[in-house]
Chain A
Amino acid sequence: MGFVKLYFRSPPAVIGLILLLLVLGMAASAGWLYPKDPLALAGRPLIWPFTNPRFLLGTDNSGRDIAAQIFHGARISLQIGLVATVISVLIGITIGAFAGYYGGWTDTILMRVTEAFQTLPNFLLLLVLVAVFGSTITTVTLAIGIVSWPASARLTRAEFLSLRNREFVQAGRTLGLRDASLIFREILPNALPPVIVYASVVMAIAILLESALAFLKLSDPNVASWGNLIGIGRDVLRVQWYVSAIPGVAILITVLAVSLVGQGLNDALNPRLKGR
């Protein structure tokens, strides 16, 4: 059964994909639709949306075009989400694979480290990291990746535990394969599907974490991220609520899209789990 065909059988998954393509489209067309710096002053501050054709989504409290910030923000959010997810999943897979494959002391030590990370609320840890290493977009992305790997490590470890004694792994061992090729060529490809699905959750969380940081004005102020815009809107939240609400909706749509796509991937990768 074709994977693509299975994926497209579920309406929520298709909706998620359309939304995600929409956000990707915004990111791709930002430079072309709004060639000017989105953080430059463009007009009178606090114009309501749909009142001035030049500023379709209005302006914020310093007079910057909200629409331009939303389009450019899509780039930043997706970039942060993607890079942080890759970092976190790579760390998680490596640690989980070694812990699950070797077991014993290796497992005990690696899992205690994982638990140490898990017991700290990850937003708190993120705040500490940003406070220590500064808040450029690079450090923020790295920090988000570093705080969100434990779950994928546990997931990978669980998969490895159930796969490492399968007959095909034993067969590889009797052929004289080295541990590295057993881990990465034999077991990992079979352990990957649930981790890939989980990566969509990590990506959604990464986007939310960045917005939360920005809301506290701790993210990189020199980029047009959605979180920064929400943070700016906080000062005028009671009257000009749209300044925070518009980027809020953008974040909502992106996170929803990523989650729906992840759920769709899950159903398509494990067709039997879904009720017939």
Chain B
Amino acid sequence: MTPILVLDQVSVKLPKGADRSHAMEEVTLSVAAGEILCVVGESGSGKSMTANAIMRLLPGGVTLDGGRILFEGRDLAGVSEAEMRKVRGAGIAMIFQEPMTALNPLRTIGDQIGEMFEIHTDLAKSAIRARVQALLEEVRIPDPLAAAKAYPHELSGGQRQRAMIAMALALDPKVLIADEPTTALDVTTQAQILELIRDLQRRKGTAVLFITHDFGVVAEIADRVAVMSKGRVVEQGTVEAVLDNPQHAYTQQLIAAVPPLKAPPPRAISDEAILTIDHVSKTYRTGGFLGRGQRVTHAVKDVSLVLPKGGTLGIVGESGSGKSTLARCLVRLIDPESGSIWLSGRDLASLSKEEMRAETRNIQMVFQDPFASLNPRHKAGELVAQGLIVHGTPRAGALKRARDLFSLVGLDPAAIDRFPHEFSGGQRQRIGLARALALEPKVLVADEPVSALDVSVQAQVLKLLADLRARLGLSIVFITHDLRVAAQVCDLVAVMKSGEVVEAGPIADVFGNPQHAYTRALLASIPGRGFGLKEAVLA
């Protein structure tokens, strides 16, 4: 097979003052027709820059400074901007991570797909409409007639991504570049989209350059894999060769960091319950006047769960399943409507605002986004000491304790005088953890604490969490959408769907022998299942 897109020693220079001189250094890649090449790497590895360099959509100040980008034998680095426009869309098309921001919110889906034909062809209006319909059917969007007339916000995330794919495939491009197209989607939707891309690619013989950070996705879809680190391709080969027998140390480290899906042998957990969630419900009402025409959403519906002392209770589910709402009910960021939350003999749900302020000592929360959860205007030490100061520890003592906590979570105690933006994502999450642990809570509620982190950093934070759990005897409620992560850290797991717990029990039972159809669907959707299990067998 002759490659259709070749990157030959491509280098991309970053502006002065960036953390390294080149975003890409001497990157050599090639994709042939009918082939899926996965470019995999952690954030900052230059994998998205590769896509941008090919499309010549580099951000300001970033320039191509060496190498050739050959598309059908022609060097794209040398062509004019006008010729480049002809290549984009018609020759090489692209789909993006977040279809909501990549689509124009003010125009209908049909209009936006039709625009591709208006720009690149001189088809008549009616012909364009027919082609749009055919495309929407091809990407198997439910009710394609209505979808063409819909605005982006009226479709679900998966449907929007299907529309994006329809747009990208409109002109039968030779090459499709997919930049993390399933990262923003739920696992079941992700499985459908991956299958769609695979299917379309087989039928049309498109060459696909698939950018991802997720080795599960790689195992699911790739023919060949290129692993990038700090702007360089460190390893390249067929999917079997790279995943089963990685040669480069970095690839080995990355693959080892992917949590295997199989749960470790169960730990002994005490029978004593520390936190009991008893028939908790929370409903949201929107719109309507005096109760008429209201839309009622049952965010959390009659949930009852028990967290044993020293145990970890995982709550898994897709977006909108109510798992985050439940977590926020536990710490009373949201007031539950009915039900009680018993924490060592007190019902948190019935406490007044003032009583709850005192009770925060016993239940603390770690948040998802390490960038949004730390106030950018306070120093790191201040953030950690804050809780102690509020609960009556003198300032000097609280700051001293913050230093101890910094070393507990594996940070340099001298760093308490730095501001949050001076830390990396993983380090920030450690600060968040130190802040939650400062009050020595009995229960820690962790809301997706590792989903925003790279896989190797994620492994470190999970290890830290397991270590702290053992050392401090913490009981943890662990919210996650990632079943692999849940399998690694949780003793018990509850699967939520549309606000209800559909299945709960010890993790080995639920994942090993799922009873509910939804649990089975979730488990079946995890990309690269075989890959994870193989790892577990090896280990």
- A residues near B, CB below 8 A? 166-168, 170-178, 181, 186, 189-190, 276
Contact for A174 among B364, B368, B374, B391, CB less than 8 A: B364
Contact B373 A175 (CB under 8 A): no
B residues engaging A (CB < 8 A)? 60-61, 328, 331, 333, 357-358, 360-361, 364-365, 367-369, 372-377, 386-387, 390-391, 432, 435-436, 439
User: Chain A contact residues: over half helix, strand or loop, or mixed?
Assistant: helix
Contact of A167 among B331, B367, B387, B390 (CB under 8 A): B367
7 A–B contacts, CB within 8 A, in A order: A168-B374, A168-B375, A175-B439, A176-B358, A176-B361, A176-B391, A189-B377
What residue in chain A is nearest B368 (Cβ atoms)? A167
- Inter-chain CA distance A175–B333, complex, in Å, is 11
Q: Is the CB of A178 within 8 A of B390?
A: yes
Given contacts A178-B357, A178-B390, A276-B61, contact A172 B375 (CB under 8 A): yes
Number of A-B contacts (CB under 8 A): 58
Which residues of the partner chain A approach B331 to less than 8 Å between Cβ atoms?
174
Q: Which residues of A contact B373 (CB under 8 A)?
A: 167-168, 170-171
Residues in B neighbouring A189, C-beta threshold 8 A: 375, 377
A176-B372 contact in complex given A167-B367, A170-B333, C-beta closer than 8 Å: no
- Given contacts A171-B435, A177-B386, is CB(A190)–CB(B61) below 8 Å? no
The smallest beta-carbon distance between B402 and chain A, in angstroms, is 13
Q: Write out the residue numbers on chain B whose beta carbons fall within 8 Å of the beta carbon of A177.
A: 386, 390
A174 to B330, CA, bound (A): 10
Question: B436 to chain A: which residues have CB within 8 Å?
Answer: 174
What's the least CB distance linking A164 to chain B, in Å?
12
**Bound CA–CA A222/B361 (angstroms):** 62
Name A188's closest neighbour in chain B (CB-CB).
Answer: B377
Residues of chain A within 8 A (CB-CB) of B375 are: 168, 172, 186, 189-190
Assuming the contacts A173-B333, A175-B435, A176-B357, asked whether A168 and B390 have C-beta atoms less than 8 A apart, the reply is no
Chain A residues contacting B377 (CB-CB under 8 Å) are 189-190
B390 near A174 with CB under 8 A, answer no
Complex: A172 Cα to B377 Cα, angstroms: 13
* Bound: A173/B328 CA distance, A: 11
Also in contact, A175 and B386, with CB within 8 A (given A168-B373, A170-B333):
yes
Chain A neighbourhood of B360, CB < 8 A: 174-176
Q: Which residues of B contact A186 (CB under 8 A)?
A: 375
- Other 8 A-B pairs with CB < 8 A, given A175-B364, A175-B390: A168-B373, A171-B374, A171-B435, A175-B360, A176-B360, A178-B357, A190-B375, A190-B376
Residues B376 and A167 in contact, CB atoms below 8 Å apart: no
Q: Is the CB of B358 within 8 A of A171?
A: no
The 10 closest A-B pairs by CB, nearest first: A176-B360, A175-B387, A167-B373, A276-B60, A189-B377, A168-B375, A167-B372, A176-B357, A167-B367, A174-B365
B312 CB to closest chain A CB, in angstroms?
19
Can you name the residue of chain A whose Cβ is closest to the Cβ of B391?
A: A176
Q: Are A170 and B367 in contact (CB under 8 A)?
A: yes
Residues in A with CB closer than 8 Å to B365 are 170-171, 174
Contact A167 B369 (CB under 8 A): yes
Return chain B residues, CB-CB under 8 Å to A181.
390
> What's the least CB distance linking B333 to chain A, in Å?
5
Given the complex, which residues of A lie within 8 Å of B439, measured CB to CB? 175
Contacts of B367 in A (CB 8 A): 167, 170-171
Partner of A172, one of B368, B386, B391: B386
The docked-state distance in angstroms from the alpha carbon of A166 to that of B357 is 19
Give CA–CA (A173, B387) in the complex, Å. Answer: 10
What residues on A are CB-neighbors of B432 within 8 Å? 171
- A127 → chain B, closest Cβ, in Å? 41
Interface centre among B364, B375, B436, B439 (most CB of A within 10 A): B375
Question: Would A176 and B387 be within 8 Å (CB), given that A171-B365, A171-B373, A171-B432 are in contact?
Answer: yes
In the bound complex, how far is the Cα of B365 from the Cα of A186, in angstroms? 17
Which of A166, A168, A174 lies at the interface centre, i.e. has the most chain B CB atoms within 10 A of its CB?
Answer: A174
- The residue of chain B having its C-beta at the shortest distance from the C-beta of A189 within the complex is B377
Q: Which residue of A lies closest to B420 (CB)?
A: A168
How far does the Cβ of B265 sit from chain A's closest Cβ, in whole Å?
A: 33
Q: How far is the CA of A176 from the CA of B360 in the complex (A)?
A: 6
Provide the bound-state CA to CA distance between A181 and B387, in Å: 12
Closest B residue, CB atoms, query A187: B375
A47 CB, nearest partner CB in chain B, Å: 56
CB distance from B386 to the nearest CB of A (A): 6
